[in-house]
Amino acid sequence: MDFKAIFAHFSKAVLLPGFVVFGLFIAAPVNAQETTTTPTKDARTELKSSLTDLSSLYQKEVDRLEKQQQQSKGLYDDGLISRVDFENGEKALADARAKVEQVTKEIAAANQPMPEIGILSDPTATSAAVWSTGNARVDNLINFYGKQYGVDPFLIYCTMSQESGFTSGATSPKGAMGLTQLMPATAARYGVTNPYDVGQSIMGGTRYLKDLLKMFNGRVDLALAGYNAGEGAVMKFGNNIPPYEETRNYVKLILKRYAVKKPTS
């Protein structure tokens, strides 16, 4: 028996898989590198997309209210509806137009160059450097009451933007009032005597959000649904978002903005 030939054949059999494994180790980092270089959308692009969706929704509401108000004008002229009903329609249309104007400003701001260096170089920079209502007093009150009641100030900001477009004198056709659009009963529950007062409105709205978050075990989506449709509606449908188109759009839009631009700690 030729042991040398057998040994040589065995060596080749062992070395061949070794080369294959070694080659796989060499190729692996290349594949990993190709995977990690896949481009992804940045937060700013997502924000612009979210704002564009919001603008489209608001504009559709304006278009709907304009047609409705044109019909109401004819009915009012013919004495078929009261002046109060007609003026309520005018107010709803004005509020809807204000929301379109506000989101248009936010889109313009999102298109401006971001002062990234300034923010990153400031070790004390907080979420206030990332969002702003355009009013320093309102920003400070949002941060103050957010910290006092344990609610993320940015969530308050997103909710307020959706509710009133930061218009302190806003009144909905259903009777919701102020920056955080408190209904009379909700305002009374939290000791808000003047819902149009900026400080009282933010305080009451923040406390309401806090109670809703606690009621629904920290579920932001259910808290928002409760804020829009009432906590009773959420519980009625088994602690799920009620099947109301307005409420579902409301929750979807706020969550989209909140998730995209929420500062990381």
Q: Of 124, 148, 114, 149, give the one whose Cα is nearest residue 261.
A: 114
Residue 11 CA from chain centroid, whole number:
65
Cα 10 to Cα 4: distance, rounded to the nearest angstrom: 10
Give the active site residue among 34, 61, 87, 163: 163
3-class DSSP state for residue 74? helix
Residue 153 CA from chain centroid, whole number:
12
Neighbours of 244 (CB within 10 A): 14
Catalytic annotation present for 163: yes
| Cβ-Cβ contacts under 8 Å for 47 (sequence gap 6 or more) | 110, 257, 260, 261
Catalytic residue list: 163
